[in-house]
Amino acid sequence: MLNVTDLRSGYGRIPILAGINLSVKDGEFVGILGHNGMGKSTLLRTLMGYLPMTGGDIAFDGKSLKGLSPTARARMGIGYVPQGREIFSSLSVYENLRMGCLLAKQAEKPTIDSILADFPRLERLLERPGGALSGGEQQLLALARCLCGGPKFILLDEPTEGIQPSIIEEMIDTLQKIGREKGLTILLVEQNLNFITSLSERVLILQKGLIIREVPPHVAKDRAMMEEFVGMV
Amino acid sequence: MDLYGLVGFNILVGIGTIALITVGLGVIYGMMKIINLAHGEFMMLGAYATYVANTHGINIWIAMLIIAPIFVGLVGLVVERCLIRFLYGRMIDTMLATWGLSLGLIGLMTSIFGNDPRGVPTPVGSFSIGHYAASLYGFVIVVVAILALAGFYAMLSLTRYGLIVRATMQNPNMAAALGVAPPTIYMATFALGAALAGLAGGVLAPISGVSPVMGAAFIAKAFITVLGGGAAIVTGTSLASGLFGFIDTFVSFKSTPVIGEVALLLAAVVMIRILPQGITGRFLRRSL
């Protein structure tokens, strides 16, 4: 589904990504682990088209994304849940979800109803302004809003940042459930070990703008071994 | 008693006039944070469109209510594509560009139509309030102003386009990730603001006369009202035009129109001192 080769990018003249290679297959859940400042968000922002790539290529479904705007990439089926959630704060929760439905193949109402079935916590908040929600609720809303559009491939940028643990658990459950049901393809960047190991089938380690290694699958599934592994890196 | 009726009517017309000249500017400034110094000239183009259409035998109502906004909306579209879209996020540059545009438009219209003011006939007569005669056209202005504000409000709150506009103005990057093309939304919004300016110019043409420099008479009031109104375009414009229209007309009646405008300015200065974000920066924040 996604094939990234020697991707380079950065802010102005400051290079951040120094040649990323990675691929994500249909239906796969890939996690990228990295500390702050290693280029996690930069990678996703480049994949979404907010930052221009300065080298290499991104192929999505076999087509190069070079020069395409975020709008065009969204219309090709790439969903994006940004760091900091980026809820439309003066729009109500329901209106935020309606915005998510712009690319939905079905009508608005049934789409939102079916998504809300997976996010029961949002149901009673529908009329609230998005800005009045707690961080965790906003994160659930950002995820739900993204799912409304029925994307083929989802980019998740540090969904656990600043979120209370109970909602983190809820997000893991929700993502596991809808991942199974809908066969979603997801690329997650995180530094929360618990979250990334609970969900990812493969884990890559990002350091200083490079994917330095892939965590072996038997390690990636095991929290304790994972901690040991990351400690060595 | 009759006199109070007349003053009351005039105040209503004063409020309607300010609301009408402000709403187009409010759309462009409030939604896109672009200070359109050519706003008065957009109104002037609307007035000329009405005048030209009318002299070619087109019904005056159609000329001012349909042709003027459509023509100026198209002009706005061209201006956005050729000029404004390169300058988003650069407030000073857009001011300079639109100021230049306003001078250019004045020059262009002067060389086509000359400097002398043209007239557009008033399509309705007068009615009497007791001994006093008042122009029925005042009602037209008030009704058009109300319809323009109500229509814009309905568009923002009820339609899908309105939802997309509100979301895009708040966070264009996120809207893009959901499939919106922000440049298209900006283009449409700018054209809508221009069309509303054209409507104002067309409707006010019978009262103000039509000349290349007529825009200058409106622009200051329109800016003061937009700033006084604050972030919420419809609520802010309504409240600020209510306040400033009342002060202007009432003081003009008690003294002279010049003193009326001075009073309006003083009121605006005091208000901006107390409410730097405008009325809706403090009250009714969640309104549109």
**Residues B10-67: pLDDT tens digits?**
999 999 999 999 999 999 998 888 999 999 999 999 999 999 999 999 999 999 999 9
Model pLDDT, residue A93: 96
Whether pLDDT at A233 is above 70: no
For residues A181 and A206, is the Cβ–Cβ distance under 8 A? Answer: no
Per-residue pLDDT tens over the stretch B181-202: 999 999 999 999 999 999 999 9
> Who among B167, B176, B286 is closest to A71 (CB)?
B176
Sign of CA dihedral A12, A17, A22, A24: negative
pLDDT at residue B33, rounded to an integer? 87
The domain spans of chain B are 2-219
* pLDDT (average), residues A104-126: 92
Per-residue model confidence (pLDDT) at position A232 = 61
B92 touching A (Cβ < 8 Å): no
Residue A25 has pLDDT above 90, yes or no: yes
Taking the CA of residue B234 and the nearest CA in chain A, the distance in Å comes to 16
Among A24-28, A224-228, B215-219, the range scoring the smallest mean pLDDT is A224-228
Q: Tokens 């008690």 identify what position?
A: B254
Is the pLDDT reported for residue B96 higher than 80?
A: yes
Beta strand A53-60 with A2-11 is antiparallel
Which residue in the set B173, B175, B286 is minimally distant from A90, CB to CB? B286
pLDDT in tens, A132-177: 999 999 999 999 999 999 999 999 999 998 888 888 999 999 999 8
For B190, how many CA atoms within 13 A lie in the half-sphere containing its CB? 27
Q: Provide mean pLDDT across the span B155-171.
A: 94
Q: How confident is the model at residue A178 (pLDDT cuts 50, 70, 90)?
A: confident
A85 touches chain B (CB under 8 A): no
Interface of B with A in 167-186 (CB under 8 A): 167, 170-171, 173-182
SS3 content of chain A, % helix, strand, coil (to 5): 40, 30, 30
Mean pLDDT of B201-210: 95
Query: What was the pLDDT predicted at B106?
Result: 97
In terms of Cβ atoms closer than 10 Å to its own Cβ (0-12, 13-18, 19+), residue A34 is buried
φ, ψ dihedrals at A162, nearest 5°: 65, 30
pTM: 0.90
And the tokens for B105?
A: 């438009």
Residues of chain B with C-beta less than 8 angstroms from the C-beta of A102:
164, 178-180
Q: What is the mean pLDDT of chain B?
A: 93
- What letter represents residue A222's amino acid? D
8 Å CB contact between A80 and A125: no
